[in-house]
Chains A and B, each alone.
Chain A
């Protein structure tokens, strides 16, 4: 057999001799204690059984959002992602044989710029939360300040990630409270100082409510701080772009753009800035150039920011990002196009408002905020949302997010998301079952 043949050719007798450099005292003298190998057929059975221990959204109607959304994904997305040339390839370091991925990322960068109203976007980050943390690091570095202000209306997990990244860098994250579901502007004005590197908000925020971006951006700029907005990309089909409203950095969670929920990942973060910050941003960037025959071509560029060149002085340590998820977003946005994205946004807007009205017309539910919202809203329930959700599960409905776990002051608060996938019939049934009849 070829193994022995190969050993002979390199002048060795046994495989064991290949490992002569590994001292005996650190060698594993037993077999790994792992389950025995499964054949392909057995593996499929085993994992199928495991997957059936979960309740999935194909069999259930989903009104749960809170940062991950059940939007429709056109079939062409996965068909194209499944092409091995894309999904098995490495990072496009060899541009001559990677033009496909490079061009797709260039298209992705353009689409993100268009959505956010910014000049420059990178090739993606791990997710929305880590993108926000990197935006904070950029702001502190660029403004040479040590503190950021973040609205409490920003996703609780994003704020946790901000605090993790900040604490190890000696940065301070201060939270600013909310009023009627929006960032409390008065409190913001009282909290901002000359050491504030950035003001960070999310739009629509965690409660689904729209923030007064223009006003907040002005406060940031009056204090020579950067204005960082984490945006829901679907909402940008109908909402004014953060770029038009003064944002210096726009990041966000891109899962909604053609990526399945996958129990929380892989998703993608997007990261976009105004021109002046180009050299300071983390992550890969694809640029257009020409090959030596004058043909348009694409390559990774401005790489001197990155870890493999700048090492400890790099803008970030990120290298692998979420290229395939960014490709999914690119294909999704291509299929939906200008009109489709707007329609998805409008359908979500209309359906969530219908659901809100139906629920709040019921005695068991009352509105919590009066501020405008997009596809998600907060209501207060008479019974605990956990209990409601358990009951709804019997009817194959996945209910909203119980807010008390992260906002203790919102007693029996329930965060309900309604995407374009929910039909009137599903919404009516949800309201009926949630109402207890």
Chain B
């Protein structure tokens, strides 16, 4: 299982990449491998305000659908429309396949994220 050292993670298998006050969010290699081949992604609308813990996207395989929860609150500044046309890239390259970018409304929430090492331990326990 791949883990990208430069990213932050959540216990529910999302990753976060920070660029200033903008956070890019996607799902981890562990998450995609458990979902199986992804056939569809539903993303929020640009401009939508979402708060920590709320479902922000849905990923679907043939026989399952999973909500993706945002680990941070903020306003959606962009969505990765490429994923809608080619959802399989989440399987092949999960850490480049960001779902949304968020302008953060509460930077203290970043403290709840875990680093790569911590995430590695956590996902090994779940295996």
Contact = CB atoms under 8 A, between A and B. Distances in A.
A303 B63 CA distance: 7
Interface of A is mostly: helix
Interface residues on B, range: under 10
A303 B61 CA distance: 10
Interface in B25-48: 40, 42
A167 interface: no
B62 A303 contact: yes
Contacts of A310: 65
A309 B66 CA distance: 10
B60 interface: yes
B42 A304 contact: no
Interface in B50-73: 60-65
Contacts of B60: 304
Contacts of B62: 303-304
Contacts of B42: 279
Interface residues on A, range: under 10
A315 B19 CA distance: 37
Contacts of A302: 40
Contacts of B61: 304
A309 B40 contact: no
Contacts of A279: 40, 42
Contacts of A313: 65
Nearest to A313: B65
A304 B87 CA distance: 15
A279 B41 CA distance: 11
Contacts of B64: 304, 309
A175 to B, nearest CB: 32
A309 B61 CA distance: 11
A355 to B, nearest CB: 52
A270 to B, nearest CB: 24
B40, B60, B61, B63, most chain A CB atoms within 10 A? B60
Nearest to A301: B62
Nearest to A299: B62
Nearest to B66: A304
A302 B60 CA distance: 9
Contacts of B63: 303-304, 309
A302, A304, A310, A313, most chain B CB atoms within 10 A? A304
Contacts of A304: 40, 60-65
Contacts of A303: 62-63
Nearest to A311: B65
A92 to B, nearest CB: 16
B55 to A, nearest CB: 9
A282 B95 CA distance: 34
Interface string B61-100: 1111100000000000000000000000000000000000
A292 to B, nearest CB: 15
A315 to B, nearest CB: 11
A142 to B, nearest CB: 12
A192 to B, nearest CB: 24
Contacts of A309: 63-65
A314 to B, nearest CB: 9
B35 to A, nearest CB: 11
B61 to A, nearest CB: 8
B69 to A, nearest CB: 14
Nearest to A314: B65
A437 B9 CA distance: 87
A254 to B, nearest CB: 29
A227 B64 CA distance: 31
A309 B64 CA distance: 6
A303 B65 CA distance: 10
Contacts of B65: 304, 309-310, 313
A77 B61 CA distance: 38
17 contacts: A279-B40, A279-B42, A302-B40, A303-B62, A303-B63, A304-B40, A304-B60, A304-B61, A304-B62, A304-B63, A304-B64, A304-B65, A309-B63, A309-B64, A309-B65, A310-B65, A313-B65
Sorted from nearest, which 7 A-B pairs have the closest CB atoms?
A304-B65, A304-B60, A310-B65, A309-B65, A309-B63, A309-B64, A304-B64
Given A304-B64, A313-B65, 6 more contacts: A303-B63, A304-B61, A304-B62, A304-B63, A309-B64, A310-B65
